[in-house]
Structure 1
Amino acid sequence: MAAAQGLSVFPITPSSSATNQSCRKPFELVLSFNPSTSFTGTKLSVQPLSFNQMASKRRSSAVATISFSLPTTNKEGIASDKMPKWSARSIKSFAMGELEARKLKYPSTGTEALLMGVLVEGTSFAAKFLRENGITLFKVRDEIVSLLGKSDMYFFSPEHPPLTEPAQRALDWAVEEKLKSGDSGEITSAHLVLGIWSQKESAGHKIMASFGFDDEKAEELAKNMDKDVIFSFR
């Protein structure tokens, strides 16, 4: 019947050398289609990916995930193109916060996870300021487990754990403060940290306070909220 339809199946036995080489490289399925024909114009081939191709694909995937993950708040009466943009470091901090929430197997991304995200990103002025004041990633992570406890070992967080209400308000605060300032430029990681601090009953605020962060330090950081951009070019 296969012969009548013009189809045939042959067993393929690759040589040992070909097998050894193919097993060492990842493959990509490539589908090409010729619109002038039907099934016979569709070719499915398997091509090995080079290391550079793999790295490029991973980078593009990561950038897409980070770029579309950060929730933004659109205020009434303000055109979307007039809304302040988040800096690259603040976007990455948010993405790292989601990842930290997943590592701890938490069902949502809270202010404590956003705080960890800033510290994991690590290159912003805000992260440097936190470290200089004794707030480090390892200390914060330990304090989070002490405060919130460990999740069920059989629980798996979603790919993008939804924001808690305090975490969403922290992001909203950052946007509002940038709008109030009337300054051009981006929303930085410092805005994000101060947004966390603004949520007095949140886990992130409590953890910062437990390490000696107070309103005086918040004011000091607020004076340098736009330094992320300057610091990023050093």
Structure 2
Amino acid sequence: MAAQTLSVLPIIPSQTCKKPIESSLILKPGSLSNSFIGTKLSIQSSNFSILAAKRRSSTVATVLFSLPTGKQERNTSEGKPKWAARAIKSFAMAELEARKFKYPNTGTEALLMGILVEGTSLAAKFLRENGITLFKVREETLKLLGKSDMYFFSPEHPPLTEPAQRALDWALDEKLKSGESGEVTTTHLLLGIWSEKEAAGHKILAALGFDDEKAKELAKSMDKDIVLSFK
């Protein structure tokens, strides 16, 4: 019985085997026949290219030029300062940290971690010089907020908590109040986190030795001194 079964199996020429099987499944522009399901697939390469380009440009515009604001009037303000590249990267890293922790939102604790993950800004260096490292902040975050449900998955861009949004708006307002030209930096962002006294980011910083004196010291290290009041 086994011999009969083998005798009817097709013999595949060696030349045929040289062509990778995957190549027959690659979709190319035009009308393609699919012998497996008996249908034709029509692909318009130009439409795909335009759609992909639009998606890329939309994402780049969002990431490179602005951060979310809770004050809608700022969306149409032509004179508002721009965010520095390091601050924008810190924000992107904050979203990633929130996803790593499986948190539903990006909070002030995630913004703090984002600054340290980016690592090259004045604010990040100041934190490390004062013994505040990414490892310690992550440890304090777990102590304060705990672990998320292991079966929960964060969205791709976890929305900001209200304190985190206020921290961003504080940073932008402080830059506007200074009357100086230039960008909103990661230092502004860190001080914005510190301004939210009831938020996790502030509590974590305080637990690791950050205080108002250090906040004022950090503010003085910027291009222009900023008059800050932490009450």
TM range (shorter): 0.7 to 0.9
Which deviations, in whole Å up to 9, do the C-alpha atoms of 1:93-143 show, x marking residues without a partner? 001001100110001010000000000011111101111111111110011
**TM-score with structure 2 setting the length:** 0.73
Q: What is the DSSP-based 3-state SS (H/G/I as helix, E as strand, rest coil) of the residue aligned with 1:186?
A: coil
Q: Does 1:90 align with 2:87?
A: yes
- Whether 1:108 and 2:109 are equivalent positions in the alignment is no
**Which whole-Å CA distance do the structure 2 matches of 1:69 and 1:186 have between them?**
11
Shift of 1:81: 1.6
Alignment of 1:6-25 (within 5 A): 15-19=16-20
- Counterpart in 2 of 1:151? 148
**Residue aligned with 2:20, SS:** helix
Describe how 1:206-221 pairs up with structure 2 within 5 A. Answer: 206-221=203-218
Cα distance in 1, alignment partners of residues 83 and 77 from structure 2: 13
Distance in 1 between the 2:212 and 2:138 partners?
22
Paired position in structure 2 for 1:67: 64
Could you tell me whether the CA contact under 8 Å between 2:123 and 2:186 is conserved in 1? Answer: yes
Find the partner of 2:199 among 202, 210, 220.
Answer: 202
Q: Secondary structure at the match of 1:70?
A: coil
Largest Rg, 1 or 2: 2
* Alignment gaps of 5+ in structure 1: 1-12, 34-39, 46-58, 228-234
Match of 2:19, SS state, is: helix
* TM-score of the pair, normalised by structure 1: 0.72
Give the total of aligned pairs: 192
Task: Name the SS of the counterpart of 1:82 in structure 2.
Answer: coil
RMSD: 3.3
What secondary structure, in the 3-state scheme, does the structure 1 residue paired with 2:184 have?
A: coil
| Corresponding residue number in structure 2 for 1:10 | none
Out of 167, 180, 187, the residue aligned to residue 177 of structure 2 is: 180
Q: Corresponding residue for 2:53?
A: none
